[in-house]
Amino acid sequence: MKVIEHIEKRNNPIFSYEIIPPKRGGNLSDLISVVEDLKKFDPPYIDITSHAAEAIYEETDSGIKRQVKRKRPGTLGLCVLIKHKYGIDAVPHILCRGFTREETEDILIEFHYSGIENVLALRGDDVSYKKPPRIDRTINDYAGDLVDQISSMNQGKYLSNLLDAEKTNFCIGVAGYPEKHYESPNIKTDIDYLKKKVLSGADYIVTQMFYDNNDYFNFVDLCRSEGILVPIIPGIKILSSKNQLSTLPKVFNIDIPYELSEEVRLAKAKHVKDIGVDWAARQVEELLNRDVPAIHFYVMQTSKHVSKLMNKLNI
């Protein structure tokens, strides 16, 4: 089932989660334990991140060597496993950076054949390795270009002219930034670009993590005023360590409220996770009171914090 169908048919707000594939050579059983733990909360769908190739420097017998590889392959396999073993819809992330349009078409065909009905279209993070495309290959520069390509495939239009080509049937999600994308000069410009993605075929928006609900509410109001009417799903990440006070703003270009940062800074390390869960619980309660259709949790590699939150909320 498509994400927007889950939202339209819901009787109550729905809760979804995002996980990350294990590193190359890693233990899949750890991630399976996460999925099985999340299944207790009856998620309609789970997002699985995708990762492009990057330059990695490794120590070998002959010295340090630079190798180019995908550190976290496995998105397709995990999607199939989650969809067909656990009966939970999977939402793979599709990236511009690190992949050509031809590679994107191939993986979208793989997902289509595997019964995957949802994708999240993203530009992707900067990568340490930028593969020069062959002369016969093309690239999507921005997430809007990627939405255009997926929408075209949904209409049966592929990169080459194919006679009687089968239409794909993807529900397309895109990212929204309540505190604006770090490259945008202002929030208005950022929303203009977001609107273009919706007009190109995006069916719903999931936001970057935020810790002040007012940022989300203001963002939704601005989007609605610009005619963006698709569901806007708030993204929540539970703060779980003192180190995240610096890493989250640096990596995701977000603001952590002073009240939260001071409470975490002054607390003993063993109490930080409880502070993060309590803060997220207050966020979720306020969001539910404002009738949000769904909430998305950035879980990544461990479910213990979100499990504690869900139990605290009696969900």
Domain span holding position 133: 3-312
Does residue 176 surpass a pLDDT of 90? yes
The model's pLDDT over 46-101, given as tens digits with 9 standing for 90+, comes to 999 987 655 555 655 555 655 555 666 789 999 999 999 999 999 999 999 888 99
Question: In this predicted structure, what is the pLDDT of residue 24?
Answer: 79
Number of domains in the chain: 1
**How many other β-carbons are positioned within 10 Å of the β-carbon of residue 249?**
13
Residue 128 has pLDDT above 60, yes or no: no
pLDDT score of 237: 97
Distance CA 101, CA 129 (A): 17
Residues with Cβ within 8 Å of residue 126, at least 6 apart in sequence? 97
Q: What average pLDDT is seen over the chain?
A: 91
Are the C-beta atoms of residues 112 and 99 closer than 8 Å to each other? no
Contact 184, 190 (CB under 8 A): yes
- Residue-level pLDDT at 230: 97
Tens digit of pLDDT for each residue in 264-291? 999 999 999 999 999 999 999 999 999 9
Question: Helix or strand or coil: residue 122?
Answer: strand
Q: What's 243's domain CATH number?
A: 3.20.20.220
pLDDT tens readout for residues 214-264 = 999 999 999 999 999 999 999 999 999 999 999 999 999 999 999 999 999
Dump pLDDT digits (tens) for 194-220.
Answer: 999 999 999 999 999 999 999 999 999
